[in-house]
Structure 1
Amino acid sequence: MANFSLEDVKALRERLGTGMVDTKNALVEADGDIEKAVEILRLKGAKGNAKRADRSTSEGLVAVVESATAVTMFELACETDFVAKNEKFIALADSVAQALADSGAETVDAALATPAGTGSVASLIEDQAATLGEKVELRRIVRLSGDHYAIYLHRTSKDLPPQIGVVVAYSGDDAETARSIAQHISFADPQYLSRDDVPPAEVENERRIVEQISREEGKPEAALPKIVEGRVGAFFKQVALLEQDYARDNKLTVGKVVADAKLTINGFARFKVGA
């Protein structure tokens, strides 16, 4: 019989988060050698990761970490909400955030290559995926720089970590209004800051569609230009932050609220898990 005790099994399970049967089998195979058992379990987990590579990840969390010069937001994805609220998954997100804080990473590839512990963020995620038994991936990341930041993290369920995250980079002194803008973004999901930021090709495509719709509705030819411009204006109110009706007072636009608060929005980002 292999030379190990129940305390060895317990310690190894706490260290790796592995199941009772897998842990005991690994210790038997390793003849009680703890470090060899760790290697066996990690190799088994790595094989499991390969099998899970094609699975979809629609759950997870959004996290934000601030450094002296920027704010980084990322989405860490998993397969089920059961894992999303698991302490080990949340601890993994904290470790990733700590690694990324001062890394300067602006892409997923750069973030995965960032040193973390004795390896990289990629190896850290791979190891924990093996422990958790699900596919885990760093799906996206954004890094914003500015004078000030408003951060808003929203939980769609009280027993889950944040599912929606917003970061607003701004200039000005009204932090309360800036935070309310971040909350507005979490709800309204604008794609661009202003109408000038909407790609011309996207505007022209929208113009073509609404003109076709207006013609099919039998609108008078003479009235078409005005109708089309009105509908294009409505499109801008959907996609451009400063054009949108303010969530707290729909008689005001976000642009008006920002101007009255003497703020300048330099950029923003919004992540929603699985979206």
Structure 2
Amino acid sequence: MANYTAADIKALRERTGAGMLDVKKALDEADGDMQKAMEVIRVKGLKGVTKREGRSTAEGIVVARAENNVGYMVEVNSETDFVAKSAPFVEFGNKVLDAAVAADAADLESLLATEVDGKPVSELVTETGALLGEKVVVRRVARVAGDHVAVYLHKTSKDLPAQVGVLLAVSGADAEAAAHDVAVHIAAMSPVFLSEDDVPAETVENEKRVAEETARNEGKPEKIIPNIVQGRLKGYYKDVVLVDQDFAKDSKKSVGQVLSEAGATATAFARFRVGA
């Protein structure tokens, strides 16, 4: 019988994120040697990569940071929350973020091609999935630049790493406090566009059409339909446009007003939520 303890099992699970049965089998095969057991788990994991390709990856983490007025954010996905909160997975997520910063990556293709320790990130994804025994995916990356970039990471569960992340770029000399508050707002309120000008023209036309048809179906007088359409379009903007939204901390003001009062202007933002 292999010589290992319950503490060894616990330590190996924490280091690899592998299941209890897989850890015990690996320790048995390695005769209790921790390093050999880790290699067993990794090798067996590589053999199972093809089988995992079609699996869903709805769990994971969001990692982000800003340097020299540029913010970077990465979402990395796993199959289960058990793996998502494991030390190896979190370490991998931070390693991918480091690669994004080093390469100044603004798109997923360039990030996956970036080399870390002599290997492209895409290869590290495969190796990490093999080690953890789950499908692992680097889903997306964002890059935001401005006079000041606020970073906000939010835990949806105290037992898990951050699953919501925000980057917000603002202009203005004393905008840091307001930028942080607005970044928290973005995490909570999920705006889609920065300003009304960013809403695609076809989306605006579709909203107008729906509002017009709805007003006619409700039997509204023809002469007031244009005003109804504009009112409903304004309501749509308040739902999806950051600067038009009611500020989460003070609904009497819009986000645009809050920023203006702080001498700041939002210039770009990105928001990730794991699996969304």
Letter in structure 1 aligned against 2:251: N
1:196-243 CA-to-partner distances (Å, cap 9, x unmatched) read 111111000010011111111111111111111100110111111111
The Cα shift of 1:20 comes to 3.1
State which of 3, 13, 20 in structure 1 corresponds to 2:24: 20
Residues 1:120 and 1:44: Cα distance change in structure 2 (over 3 Å): same
The alignment yields a C-alpha RMSD, in angstroms, of 2.5
The Cα shift of 1:13 comes to 5.4
Residues 1:96 and 1:46: Cα distance change in structure 2 (over 3 Å): same
In the alignment, is residue 201 of structure 1 matched against residue 171 of structure 2? no
Letter in structure 2 aligned against 1:85: K
Q: Secondary structure at the match of 1:269?
A: strand
Partner residue in 1 for 2:119: 119
Partner residue in 1 for 2:47: 47
Residues 1:79 and 1:17: Cα distance change in structure 2 (over 3 Å): closer
Letter in structure 2 aligned against 1:74: V
In the alignment, is residue 243 of structure 1 matched against residue 252 of structure 2? no
Verify the 8 A CA contact 2:16 2:88 in the aligned structure 1.
Answer: no
Partner residue in 2 for 1:167: 167
The Cα shift of 1:141 comes to 0.6
CA distance in 2, matches of 1:41, 1:255: 52
TM-score using structure 1 length: 0.88
Verify the 8 A CA contact 2:69 2:149 in the aligned structure 1.
Answer: no
1:84-137 CA-to-partner distances (Å, cap 9, x unmatched) read 111111111122222222211111121111111242222222212112111110
Verify the 8 A CA contact 1:242 1:253 in the aligned structure 2.
Answer: yes
Residues 1:80 and 1:41: Cα distance change in structure 2 (over 3 Å): closer
CA distance in 1, matches of 2:176, 2:100: 25
Verify the 8 A CA contact 2:16 2:132 in the aligned structure 1.
Answer: no
The Cα shift of 1:75 comes to 0.5
Moved beyond 4 Å, runs of 4+ = 4-7, 10-18, 37-41
Q: Secondary structure at the match of 2:184?
A: helix
- Is 46-55 or 92-101 further displaced after alignment? 92-101
CA distance in 2, matches of 1:48, 1:226: 60
CA distance in 2, matches of 1:70, 1:50: 37
TM-score using structure 2 length: 0.87
Q: Secondary structure at the match of 2:156?
A: coil
5+ residue gaps in structure 1? none
Residues 1:176 and 1:120: Cα distance change in structure 2 (over 3 Å): same
The Cα shift of 1:57 comes to 0.8
Q: Secondary structure at the match of 1:95?
A: helix
CA distance in 2, matches of 1:165, 1:212: 38
Letter in structure 2 aligned against 1:196: D
Letter in structure 1 aligned against 2:201: P
- Identity of aligned pairs, percent? 42
The Cα shift of 1:269 comes to 0.3
Partner residue in 2 for 1:67: 67
